Chain A
Amino acid sequence: MSQEHVLVVFPHPDDEAFGVSGTIAMNTEKGVPVTYVCLTLGEMGRNMGNPPFATRESLPKIRKKELQAAADTLNINDLRMWGLRDKTVEFEDPKTLTARIGNVIDELKPTLIITFYPGYSVHPDHEATGRAVIRAVEQLPEDERPAVHCVAFSNDCYEMLGEPDVVNDVSSVSHQKLEAIKAHRSQTEWIIAAMAEENPEKVPEVLKRINKEQFWTYKF
């Protein structure tokens, strides 16, 4: 059996935080290497901290440091920032993007890839990233394809995809997960505050089930 290796591909620095960081931590704890490819620095994010401590120009520098800190917390030792620009992933040449992801797959031979489910991941950058990953995997011979676990959260995802078939209990690494979420301070401090207040209206659904991370296995 081939050596386990997890490849995570997302467009924004905090995309892993809420739904995937526990799964990452459980893998690195077992000694499974995790590579995280993050396509942009979330340059166009609206959260500047509250009160705002970031500006449109300082945000990418701040988010780069936050991403590195989150990766350190999760013991990710291969973090790759690709330097595309937030909100523009869908306008890049799909062939080029697919080939670039294909190269990473060739290099690492991952046994598992985690990305967004195309069609069910809301943000156009998420959709474009998921599509590129799926295209890259489709180009491999069927028996060489790694499993692809997808994150979906569109309003119709349960209706269309059914219940997620992979549910990971990440309670054993919940402390690490919370630290990783906090590392993305510019984007998450209002959520952390809402959690501390135990204000259920402001706490996103995904955090109410913080110890359960769920994925849909992509069916080719």
Chain B
Amino acid sequence: MQPITLDTVQNEINKFLNQDVYLHLETTNGAYASHFNQSFFSVGAYIRNAKVNFERGIITGDKAPYRAGLKIELGWVYAEGLTHWEVNEDGQLLLAGHDAEGKLAVALQLSPHPFE
């Protein structure tokens, strides 16, 4: 993955506008956070292969980490903490946020076909 540059990633998001696409959205602090620190309130959520169609999709922020918002028919998709991006060999746009140790903390991904 590459560090995010806004123009480049905005351009990639635009390619998914106004069509049915598949979404993977995730935040995680790991299943062991509360094991190592019992006062830590561990949370995480993911949705995989939600079919969405967005008319407006923006990535923004003054510097990394960045935020992204997708305006879908009846609501929004939102992620913050994004640091890296890649378009993989399957044509999927992968946006991710890695913490200082390189661990994944957030992911927002779009695909023209369902994720495996």
Contacts and interface: CB of A to CB of B under 8 A. Distances in A.
Nearest to B109: A56
Contacts of B32: 122-123
Contact of B103 (A46, A58, A60): A46
Contacts, number: 61
Interface residues of B, number: 27
B72 interface: no
A58 B88 contact: yes
Contacts of B84: 52
A190 B101 contact: yes
A57 B103 contact: no
A50 B105 CA distance: 14
B84 to A, nearest CB: 7
Contact of A55 (B1, B38, B103, B116): B1
Contacts of A55: 1, 86, 88, 94, 96
A124 B88 contact: no
Interface of A: 44-52, 55-58, 60, 87, 122-125, 154-155, 190
B78 interface: no
The 4 closest A-B pairs by CB, nearest first: A50-B102, A46-B103, A123-B31, A46-B104
A155 B24 contact: no
A124 B35 CA distance: 12
Contacts of A50: 101-102
A187 B28 CA distance: 16
B88 A46 contact: no
Contacts of A122: 31-32, 35
Interface string B35-59: 1001000000010000000000000
A123 B28 CA distance: 14
Given A57-B116, A87-B31, A48 B103 contact: yes
Contacts of A155: 35, 38
